[in-house]
Amino acid sequence: MFCNQCEQAAGGTGCADFGICGKDEDVQSLQETLLYGLKGMAAYAHHARRLGKVDEAVDAFVEEALFATMTNVNFDVPSLLELVLECGRQNLRVMEMLDEAHVARYGQPSVTTVRTGTAHAPGILVTGHDLLDLENLLAQVAGTDVMVYTHGEMLPAHMYPVLRDHPNLAGHFGGAWQLQKTEFEAFGGAILATTNCILKPREAYQDRVFTTRVTAVPGGTRLKEDVFAPVIQRALALGPLPARSGPALTVGFHHSVILAAAPAILEAVGKGEVNHFFVIGGCDGAEPGRNYFSEFAANAPDTSFILTLGCGKFRLLDHDHGTLLGLPRLLDMGQCNNAYGAIQVATGLAGALGCGVNDLPLTIVLSWFEQKAVAVLLTLLHLGVKNITVGPAAPAFLSPNVFKILQQTYGLRLTGTDAKADLSRALGGAER
Ligand code: SF4
Ligand code: SF4
């Protein structure tokens, strides 16, 4: 453990191993888990608030939970565990609000194919998660020949008709966040970063990076208001991008779209034509261990569907997973906050089959990187979802004892080194 939040910090630098106040590593671990879950939830809540959705109970919980992490307030593992699970419950509400706000403002999501590459015209690449920034940019670029492209977690914007139908939204460019230094340099136009995951830019392109509100990087220009004239002018000054084209991407398997197909899927489950569902997704990253997720998905049986979301999906797109019941086997549900949708699908299928989510032939393999993924994991634990696999590494803030509690209570496990063996165990039935 390490804590330096009060005057008593050991040696004037920080308490390691044990707190001067009496805090031990398990209490510190749960307080950090709570803090990180709150951070992820706060990002989602910020997006929802900007779209007019707030919940007083969520705001009150944030205050209460932060209070519990102060010096000399709580040294009690069970009550901190309760707060950690409550954070998961509140995050479910926040993700629900965000989903409702997106659908209400941008229309009923539907399946669509998205062009990749760039057209021979000035261009702006929009990355991050904030759809309202994209909407405002599109409104301000209308009537010009500046084309707008989504990057990373903005890809799901194309599933919403109000955004998709805008004449200046020209397609998608690039993959997950960890590739952005190469991709942003290669893009050649202006870049607008609306949230995480933005990296400190290389000098080569930092003068064409713009960020919004709390997002900021050295060398970039931070826009505090929803006025995008500087980005548009920069794109025009940079001139036309080269014409490039890549493979089309299929997006738009929002939970409402999948649940509309549920009767056919359930009939196929009854006939044994569909025998497993996987949720494989979340964040992405540069570590070599992340090929676990693509290998897991590539070896999933042809009689299974793979629901994916977050930028972890980009790792799965290289492989052709084929089709099942006329649908792609790999169903892109959207951004990481669309984990809410995956929960809706799981509870919908369980309800139709008259069983609990833990009785479904369902395997969840969560690729985590930062605090939004922590919030989503806490939501799944709050719902009592068992046997989730997380990786590629164990969260450093979980102490051995806290991890053991989660293992014993929820069957939480870590990704191994052999995706095929873990897949085979998942399909074996004994451990789900
Ligand atoms: S809160 Fe406790 S553990 Fe943290 S710095 Fe103060 S005395 Fe040390
Ligand atoms: S899914 Fe996670 S890693 Fe990927 S951009 Fe979103 S927050 Fe970042």
Q: Is 133 in the pocket of ligand 2 (CB under 6 A)?
A: no
Q: From the CA of 204, how far away is ligand 2's center (Å)?
A: 24
For 63-89, the pLDDT digits (tens) are 999 999 999 999 999 999 999 999 999
For 368-419, the pLDDT digits (tens) are 999 999 999 999 999 999 999 999 999 999 999 999 999 999 999 999 999 9
pLDDT for the residue 430: 40
Q: Is 366 in the pocket of ligand 2 (CB under 6 A)?
A: no
CB-CB neighbours of 42 under 10 Å = 17
Q: Which atom of ligand 2 is nearest to the CA of 152?
A: 5
Confidence grade of residue 314 (pLDDT, cut at 50, 70, 90): very high
Name the residue with tokens 């209490």: 27
Closest listed ligand to the CA of 4: 1
Q: Is 62 in the pocket of ligand 1 (CB under 6 A)?
A: no
Q: What average pLDDT does this structure show over 224-228?
A: 97
432 pLDDT exceeds 90? Answer: no
Query: pTM here?
Result: 0.96
Q: From the CA of 377, how far away is ligand 1's center (Å)?
A: 27
Q: Which atom of ligand 1 is nearest to the CA of 28?
A: 3
Confidence grade of residue 318 (pLDDT, cut at 50, 70, 90): confident
DSSP 149-167: EE-GGGGGGGGSHHHHT-T
pLDDT for the residue 290: 87
57 pLDDT exceeds 80? Answer: yes
For 236-295, the pLDDT digits (tens) are 999 999 999 999 999 999 999 999 999 999 999 999 999 999 999 998 888 778 899 999
Pocket test for ligand 2, best of 370, 374, 390 (most atoms within 8 A of CB): 370
pLDDT for the residue 251: 97
Percent of the chain with pLDDT over 90: 96
For 29-51, the pLDDT digits (tens) are 999 999 999 999 999 999 999 99
Q: Is 136 in the pocket of ligand 1 (CB under 6 A)?
A: no
Q: What average pLDDT does this structure show over 308-329?
A: 95
pLDDT for the residue 431: 41
Q: What average pLDDT does this structure show over 295-319?
A: 95
Q: For residues 154 and 219, is the Cβ–Cβ distance under 8 A? A: no
Q: Is 72 in the pocket of ligand 1 (CB under 6 A)?
A: no
208 pLDDT exceeds 90? Answer: yes
Q: From the CA of 181, how far away is ligand 2's center (Å)?
A: 15
Closest listed ligand to the CA of 1: 1
Q: Is 261 in the pocket of ligand 1 (CB under 6 A)?
A: no
